[in-house]
Amino acid sequence: EVQLVESGGGLIQPGGSLRLSCAASGFTVSSNYMSWVRQAPGKGLEWVSVIYSGGSTYYADSVKGRFTISRDNSKNTLYLQMNSLRAEDTAVYYCARASPWGLPQDYWGQGTLVTVSS
């Protein structure tokens, strides 16, 4: 059975750092395209980042230079390193398997909440 389980969310002060994890089972992360999408409280979905199987990465302008998407093939896990966090980064972060066109598709995690506040 395919499953994606996010972890690492929590309360963090502005300017701080956090690393989100997305542990996959039932398929191989490194052989697939993987993405992060976020949703601020009461707001719509926002595309954050994608990593292709070949290693290419792309980011939303709002997080470029602050967030880094990566994966650990030995752990079959996707990561999102978030630095210089701002209040506007407060959201539920979802990982999802992505299509070759960089968009999330069939498998999604349950989401992990990141709250940036002093």
Amino acid at 45: L
User: CA-based angle 54:17:117, to the nearest 5?
Assistant: 130
Closer to other proteins by CB, 37 or 82: give it.
37
Closer to other proteins by CB, 12 or 92: give it.
92
Binding site for other proteins (CB under 8 A): 35, 37, 44-47, 50, 58-61, 94, 99, 101-106, 108-111
Residue 12 DSSP symbol: E
Closest to 98 in 3D by CA, of 42, 40, 57, 43: 57
Tell the smallest beta-carbon distance from residue 43 to other proteins (Å).
8
- At 114, list the tokens: 């990141």
Closer to other proteins by CB, 49 or 77: give it.
49
Tell the smallest beta-carbon distance from residue 27 to other proteins (Å).
15
